[in-house]
Chains A and B, each alone.
Chain A
Amino acid sequence: MQHDANTYRNADTVDAVVIGTGAGGAPLLARLAAAGLRVVALEAGRHWKPEQDFATDEAAQDFLFWKDERLSAGDDPLAFGNNNSGTGYGGSTLHFTGYVPRPQPDDFRLRSETGKGCDWPFGYESLAPYLEEVEQFIGVSGPAGYPWGPPRETYYPLPALPKNAAAVLMEQACNKLGIRTASAPNAAVSQDYFRERIGWRRACSNRGYCQAGCWSGAKGSTDVTFLPLAETHGAEIRTNCFVTGFEQDSGGRLTAVLYQHEGETHRQQTAAVFLCAGAIESARLLLINGLANSSGQLGRNFMAHPGLQVWGRFEAATYPWKGIPGALISEDTHRPADAAFAGGYLLQSIGVMPLTYAQQLARGKGLWGKALLDHMAGYTHLAGINMLGDCLPYDHNFLELSDEKDDRGLPKPRIHFTNGENEKRMTEHAERLMRRIWETAGARDIWSFPRNAHIIGTCKMGDDPAASVVDAECRSHDIPNLWICDNSVFPSALSVNPALTIMALSLRTADLFLNRFRNQIV
């Protein structure tokens, strides 16, 4: 692998500092570096060497998760940490499952079409070329055609990954019920995959521990895709650097980023800042510093996808750790005809790692003693399905700073989350259908685990500066050289897993920025 990364001095005024190296920060970092800009990324976590450091063991991989404590409030308080919040060179993509379905055009027009939720300030067509570019670059494995969404000129660069037991069971049952399914698009490469400046990535070995970190580099997390690309183009990526604040000039423009590294405060001068720390940390950093909030919207519009799982035990052995967990997808419920709710959801088959499943049994079913051990003795015969549904924004769901301080002396964020009527109705609809699919598949001991997945909102994108934090280019309405680009800017939650959309949005944001940069209108 070729590395031409630069080393800048703090006193050099670089063209841009990018905060965070996950799905939001890494693609734009690579794009800006490729355009010849002097860019520095600041990553709070470490740079791991997966081949040496990653064990096939959930508890031992705990270091991948964001550990600064968050307070979960509301009637459906959210789990963070291993549920959705990563750290390290690669950010949360280190533990993402690699699910990369595309959003559909109507996802961007929820308000226009249903009267609920929020429209995006631009449409699907504006993101489509970037979705395509990301799929080709990270090496998405998927079906030869895709039954849902608009027709495409090209589909996926690699054939679908093998269907594990959960996928086979779901496919058989859905065939009987007349529900269309397809192999799920996934960011793990099904064959060895070569990209210029990056080299070869080895084909996925079906190890099934995607959520605990991929040691082989098969999964297209940013540590094996956009970050090495950025470095070959000269970007400098500094790890173990936790950003705490900014300096501004008298006109309000940011002039430097302040960060902690090995116990010392550093100050990197820069012409522009891209904040890509995720829906909790991006909003928290700005709230702590009292920035970019003339709208009062910072921290509001917080959303989390309804993600109820249905589990069952089968006569056949399933070995639920084998293969990518979610190998089969159905979007037939994207806009169900009999829906008593706005928006819709998709279905995914799911395998599961043993500890994750046991913890869910404890939290969701409250099993203990002999009942717990008896249930777990059937682990090798389990399979699941889960929903992933749109989530509306509500006034009662938001992030704020609490009075409690964390180990760094910074206020812990408090996140209020309660599913609304729309999410409850959607979840009931999905649970009925998933139970029917699992009954048809021959499952016994069917049970459901309510959960919400992915964290979205808090730095809403919109055209109206009084009602949103950033504009349609992801630029702050208040601070002309601050961009925010991650899941925090999504005006609506979309009814798909967010990583692909975040990466596409990141490339779009970079191109719009470069247009300004070249025309000196930054």
Chain B
Amino acid sequence: MPDPSAIERLLATDWVREPTRRVMQARLDTPFKSEPDYFSENSFRQLKAISARLIPQERSEVDLAGGLDTHLAQGAGKGWRYEKLPPDEQLFEAGVLAVNATSLHLYQQEFSGLDEARQDIVLGNVQHGAVNASDWGQLDAPAFFTELLAELVTVYYSHPAGREQCGDRSFADAHGWTAVGLNAASDLPD
């Protein structure tokens, strides 16, 4: 079982170089965001609910919605976008609202108010494009779904809790690795 404190203990040792420790510690120290900078209040509420289904966490350690909001507010982008999708400044707000519109259409309830089973049905419909044009307009639902998922995955697997979830120890970078090959666990930190 992943141990949430294992990474924090490891970060305090000389296994980790300072630039790497700085980055990881900053993520641990960032408080959950209560007010969005990029999203509207309503879409931020829906995004929190969407994030909880796309990446369900046992202990809510990673602020998925807040992390994405901060990233989008910085306007850094990733250097490219599919031509068929609008720029990030519009895409994520419009997409989250369209997911909510799909929920209202199907169940006459906001996404954040649905039970988990219904939330998953809505998200599955969005992923596979089983949505109404009246809710999505020109926006390509499956393409938006993929962009949102990729962004949330980035937030989660950058965070120490995500690293722990997948068993990653690559950030223990101070000594390099001498055991390289199959089953080469001998040089891993405990």
User: Chain A: residues with CB nearer than 8 A to chain B?
Assistant: 52-60, 62, 65-73, 77-82, 85, 162-165, 168-169, 204-209, 215, 316-319, 321-323, 353-355, 358-359, 361-363, 366, 368-370, 372-373, 376-377, 379-380, 414
- Nearest chain B CB to A63 CB, angstrom units: 9
Q: B61: shortest Cβ distance to chain A, in Å?
A: 13
A54 touches B19 (CB 8 A): yes
Q: List 5 A-B contacts (CB under 8 A).
A: A56-B170, A65-B78, A78-B80, A319-B169, A369-B53
Closest B residue to A69 by CB, please name it.
B77
Knowing A208-B170, A373-B165, say if A53 contacts B184 (CB, 8 Å): no
Partner of A358, one of B53, B157, B175: B157
B54, chain A: closest CB distance, angstroms: 5
User: Is B14 an interface residue when CB atoms closer than 8 A count as contact?
Assistant: no
- With a cutoff of 8 Å between Cβ atoms, the chain A residues found around residue B54 in the complex are 368-369, 372
B17 touches A56 (CB 8 A): yes
Please tell me the size bucket of the interface on B.
35 or more
- Residues from chain B with a CB closer than 8 A to the CB of A169 are 182
- Minimal beta-carbon separation of B23 from chain A (angstroms): 4
The answer on a CB contact under 8 Å between B180 and A359 is no
Given the complex, which residues of A lie within 8 Å of B176, measured CB to CB?
Answer: 204-207
B80 near A70 with CB under 8 A, answer yes
User: Within the complex, which residue of B149, B154, B175, B181 is in contact with A164, where a contact is CB–CB below 8 Å?
Assistant: B181
Q: In angstroms, how far is the closest chain A Cβ from the Cβ of B20?
A: 4
Evaluate whether A53 and B178 lie within 8 angstroms (CB atoms) in the complex, with A67-B77, A362-B150, A362-B153 already known.
no
**Knowing A54-B19, A169-B182, A369-B56 touch, does A414 contact B80 (C-beta < 8 A)?**
no
Residue numbers in A under 8 Å from B76 (CB-CB):
62, 67
Contact residue among B87, B127, B157, B183 (Cβ-Cβ distance under 8 Å from A316): B183
A1 CA to B136 CA, complexed, in Å: 59
Given contact pairs A205-B175, A318-B182, A380 touches B153 in the complex (Cβ within 8 A): no
Leading 7 A-B pairs by shortest Cβ distance: A205-B176, A81-B79, A321-B170, A56-B173, A80-B80, A379-B166, A59-B158
Taking A67-B79, A379-B167 as known contacts, 18 extra A-B pairs with beta carbons closer than 8 A to each other, sorted by chain A number, are A55-B17, A55-B20, A56-B17, A57-B20, A60-B23, A81-B79, A163-B181, A204-B176, A207-B170, A319-B185, A358-B162, A359-B150, A362-B150, A363-B150, A366-B149, A368-B54, A369-B56, A372-B55
User: Are B170 and A370 in contact, CB atoms less than 8 angstroms apart?
Assistant: no
Tell me, yes or no, whether B188 is within 8 Å of chain A by CB.
yes
Q: For the complex, give the distance between the alpha carbons of A316 and B184 in Å.
A: 9
Question: Which A-chain residue is minimally distant from B128 (CB atoms)?
Answer: A366
What residue of chain B has the Cβ atom nearest to residue A205's Cβ?
B176
The distance in angstroms between the C-alpha atoms of A224 and B102, with both chains bound, is: 53
Query: Once the chains bind, are B154 and A72 in contact (CB under 8 Å)?
Result: no
| B80 engages A215 (CB within 8 Å) | no
Q: Is the interface of B mostly helix, strand, loop or mixed?
A: loop
What residues of B have a CB within 8 angstroms of the CB of A215 in the complex?
Answer: 17, 19
Which B residues between 93 and 128 are near A, CB-CB below 8 angstroms? 120, 123, 127
Taking CB atoms, residues of chain B closer than 8 Å to A165 are 180-184
Interface centre among A162, A205, A369 (most CB of B within 10 A): A369
Known: A317-B185, A368-B149. A71 touches B166 (CB 8 A): no
A370 and B56 in contact (CB under 8 A), knowing A55-B22, A81-B79, A359-B154? yes
A418 to B: closest C-beta gap in Å: 13
| Distance, CA A373 to CA B165, complexed state (A) | 8
Chain A minimum-CB-distance residue to B24: A57
**Cβ B19 vs Cβ A358 within 8 A:** no
Determine how close the nearest CB of chain A comes to the CB of B155; give it in whole angstroms: 8
Q: Is the CB of A71 within 8 A of B185?
A: no
* CB contact between A317 and one of B24, B53, B153, B183 (< 8 Å): that residue: B183
In the complex, whether B177 has a CB less than 8 A from a CB of chain A is yes
Please determine whether A206 and B178 come into contact, CB atoms closer than 8 angstroms. Answer: yes
Q: How far is the CB of A163 from chain B (nearest CB, A)?
A: 6
CB distance from A35 to the nearest CB of B (A): 36
For A369, the chain B residues whose CB sits under 8 A away are 53-56, 120
In contact, A376 and B166 (Cβ under 8 angstroms):
yes
A53, A59, A370: the one within 8 Å of B154 (CB) = A59
Residues on B with beta carbons closer than 8 Å to the beta carbon of A65 = 78-79
Q: Which residues of A contact B77 (CB under 8 A)?
A: 67, 69
Is B83 in contact with chain A by the CB < 8 A criterion? yes
Q: How far is the CA of A168 from the CA of B77 in the complex (A)?
A: 38
Q: Which listed residue (A55, A204, A353) contacts B19, Cβ 8 A?
A: A55
A-chain residues with CB within 8 Å of residue B120 when the two chains form the complex: 369
Q: How far is the CB of A205 from chain B (nearest CB, A)?
A: 2
**Closest-CB distance, A280 to chain B (whole angstroms):** 10
- Chain A positions within 8 Å of B78 at CB level: 65, 67, 81-82
What are the residues of chain A within 8 A of B168 when measuring CB–CB? 321, 354, 379-380
Q: What separation, in Å, do the CA atoms of A414 and B82 have in the docked complex? A: 10
With both chains docked as a complex, state the minimum distance between the C-beta of A160 and any C-beta of chain B, in angstroms: 12
Cβ contact within 8 Å between A79 and B80: yes
B20, B169, B184, B188 — most chain A CB neighbours (10 Å): B184
A408 → chain B closest CB, angstroms? 13
CB distance from B29 to the nearest CB of A (A): 14
